[in-house]
Amino acid sequence: MIRPDDLVCDVLANYPAAWPVFERHGMCEDCKQSPPPVPVHHFVDKHCNGKIDAFLREIHETISL
């Protein structure tokens, strides 16, 4: 299970199927090249208006967790 405090770089390394979700929510080109070592909640705060529950639900549905 992916949690808000998990690092974006770790999520993407462990669950490659999650890439489209991050891209759909505005992951920039620089971050695509080198995913940041920031918590998922940081990404969600910047790109999803802080809607962590909806983002995690989307990730979990996408990667079938």
Q: What distance, in Å, lies between the first and last C-alpha atoms of the chain?
A: 6
Long-range contacts from 22-27, C-beta under 8 angstroms, 24+ separation: 25/55
Q: Are 65 and 11 in contact (CB under 8 A)?
A: no
pLDDT, residue 65, reads: 57
Coil, strand or helix: which one is 35?
coil
pLDDT tens digits, one per residue of 2-55 = 999 999 999 999 999 999 999 999 998 888 889 989 999 999 999 999 999 999
